[in-house]
Amino acid sequence: MKRITYLILILSMMLSVSCTGWFDNIPPYEATEDMLDGDNVVIGAFFPQLQRNVISTHNNQFQLSQNLVGDLYSGYMATPTNFGQETYNLVRTDWLNNPFEKVFAQEMSAWMEVNRRTGGDVESDVFQLAQIIRIASMSRFTDNWGPIPYSQVGSGSIRTAYDSQADVYDQFFKELDKAIEVLYTFTIQNPGAKPLAEYDLVYGGDYSKWVKFANSMRLRLAMRIAYVDPVRAQAEAEKAIADPAGLILENADNASVKSLGANDVINQLYTMWSNYQDTRMGASMWSVLTGYDDPRLEKMWQKGEVNGVEGYHALRIGVQFSGAKDLRLGYSSPNVMSDDPIVWMNAAEVAFLKAEGALRGWNMGTDAKSAYETGVKLSFEQWGASGVDAYLADAEKVPADYKDPLVSSNNTAAVSTINIAWNDSDKDKSLERIITQKWIALFPNGHEAWTEYRRTGYPYLFKVLVNNSSNTIDSDIQIRRMPYPPSEKTVNEENLKKAIELLGGPDNGGTRLWWDVADKSIK
């Protein structure tokens, strides 16, 4: 195990100023003969590195790539102090550089080592497992920025070209085809085998579960492009549903990173609310959960105390604070502990994806109502909440008006009137209902929740209270992406210019991504 830790330490040091120029100049850190003994020890050692960077397990990188991005912009959380991110003041050079450089570089360096050590053999089960993890990570990456370096990474060029987001997604689907084929064949030919079991922080080397995750991810990515390329979206979604390897249909198969042996995984959301005290419940989440009298509220959030009143208290995003941060630490914190698994994808999300597909008229093997109710039930089960049948039957409760227990001028009326009980009389209302429940079920994966908000326009979120974007971001539609890091302008300028052309708009937070179309109505 010491050998594994040593190799991972080496990988963590393999960083540079620019991710794109650096990828192609990685020093040849060859393993010693001592490191090479034991089955799969060298290649296996790179998998924790791959998995730890899908959702970063490093405290500062998590804060800059997840907590001050998706967790905020999804409506899940808000900051009890002023960073700038919460008011769309996206000017901190180091904060823009970090998620692009370090998270991406660490992920891709590990993938490149697996690629090198397997010779890029597309029939290799180990290589294809790395492919699936890379897609999980890079899909988040492209959904943050749009065009990204992808197909040319590791090609040998000094500065790496960008691919359009449409091309990146096309490559995702093609790579998933091969990965699913290879790993599913392996499971048939080697029943019960668990390669890389001591290195796999997600499924302990169980390829049958990895294939379910890959099919589920195909369904997620297919739905992502439902508005911009509905024909391809339907074809890919139905392919995922029909695949004999199956999907994530029960919570036992949820994809999540957890500690394994010497790989001690810290859920950094705990660090954010406890050690740093930099995140609290967002007003939009409070409005939905309290309005619905949702039994998951007490499972997801901790009570706080503000002005001597104990209860669930939330902050609006974009508030300009005055006075010490201590005044706001009584607002509710996420009920997430340091040893909680870091969930990439759960069974509830898959059910809601099927519900939306069925609503669109696709063959999902079920109807929209059944899939919707299954998604809610799976979420209740995951959180250990009771009362799901009464909850699903409730046609009266709607999101609540927001009340700030400390500053009444922050109060505002609810922005949605959607209820819980299924009603298929209006497709757009049905979609709002599906996505609102999906949004709850995705917690605390704020990046995925923000992405779905941008894609569908649901759930309705409270607007940022103060917008310091210099009119580059429309408060009505909210932030759509993150700007490219200044470091890329320094070391990869020509390729970055082409990337911005592919983006189709200015490099700021107000420009829509390829799949983010203005018309969100269900056809």
Question: pLDDT band for position 221 (50/70/90)?
Answer: very high
Using the CB atoms, write b or e for 250-261: b if 16+ within 10 Å: ebebbbbbbebe
- Residue among 339, 291, 256, 302 nearest 77 (CA): 302
Report the distance separating Cα 171 and Cα 308, nearest Å.
55
Residue 471, Ramachandran bin (φ over 0: left; ψ between -120 and 50: alpha; else beta): left
Q: Indicate if the pLDDT at residue 243 is higher than 80.
A: yes
Residue 256: its H or E element? strand 255-257
Question: pLDDT band for position 158 (50/70/90)?
Answer: low
- pLDDT tens, position by position, 4-47: 333 434 444 343 333 444 343 333 333 333 333 344 668 999 99
- For the chain, what are the domain ranges? 2-271+336-503
Q: Indicate if the pLDDT at residue 161 is higher than 90.
A: yes
At what angle are helices 230-242 and 207-224 packed, to 10 degrees? 160
pLDDT (0 to 100) of residue 33: 32
User: How many CB atoms lie under 10 A from the CB of residue 464?
Assistant: 22
* Per CATH, domain 2-271+336-503 is 1.25.40.390: yes
* Residue 204 vs residue 491, higher pLDDT: 204
Question: Can you tell me the mean pLDDT for 132-137?
Answer: 98
pLDDT (0 to 100) of residue 29: 30
Q: Indicate if the pLDDT at residue 88 is higher than 70.
A: yes
pLDDT (0 to 100) of residue 156: 57
pLDDT (0 to 100) of residue 157: 57
What are the DSSP E strand ranges found in 51-99? 77-78
Q: Which two tokens stand for residue 440?
A: 């709850």
Q: Indicate if the pLDDT at residue 191 is higher than 90.
A: yes
pTM assigned to the model: 0.93
pLDDT (0 to 100) of residue 9: 40
pLDDT (0 to 100) of residue 321: 84
Question: Can you tell me the mean pLDDT for 146-150?
Answer: 96
Q: Which two tokens stand for residue 38?
A: 């034991």
pLDDT (0 to 100) of residue 31: 32
Q: Is 251 helix (H, G, I), strand (E, B) or coil?
A: helix
What is the chain's mean pLDDT, rounded? 91
* Residue 30 vs residue 262, higher pLDDT: 262
Q: Is 248 helix (H, G, I), strand (E, B) or coil?
A: coil
First CA to last CA across the chain, in angstroms? 54
Residue 384, Ramachandran bin (φ over 0: left; ψ between -120 and 50: alpha; else beta): left
Report the distance separating Cα 410 and Cα 259, nearest Å.
41
Strand partners, 77: 281
Q: Is 472 helix (H, G, I), strand (E, B) or coil?
A: coil
Amino acid, res. 326: D
Helices (H), 410-507: 427-442, 446-456, 486-491, 493-503
Question: Can you tell me the mean pLDDT for 346-353?
Answer: 99
pLDDT (0 to 100) of residue 32: 31
pLDDT (0 to 100) of residue 4: 38
Residue 135: its H or E element? helix 125-145
- Give the CA dihedral 288, 291, 293, 294, nearest 10 degrees: -10
- pLDDT tens, position by position, 471-512: 999 999 999 999 999 999 888 999 999 999 999 999 999 999
Cβ(65)–Cβ(482) below 8 Å: no
Question: Can you tell me the mean pLDDT for 113-134?
Answer: 95
pLDDT (0 to 100) of residue 3: 39
Helices (H), 340-491: 347-359, 368-383, 388-392, 427-442, 446-456, 486-491
Amino acid, res. 518: A
- Residue among 291, 379, 378, 279 nearest 336 (CA): 279
Instruction: Specify the range with the lowest mean pLDDT, choosing from 43-47, 280-284, 351-355.
Output: 43-47
Q: How far does Cα 161 stand from its chain's mean position?
A: 24
Cβ(434)–Cβ(368) below 8 Å: yes
Question: pLDDT band for position 103 (50/70/90)?
Answer: confident
Using DSSP bridges, classify how beta strands 255-257 and 77-78 pair: parallel, antiparallel or unpaired: unpaired
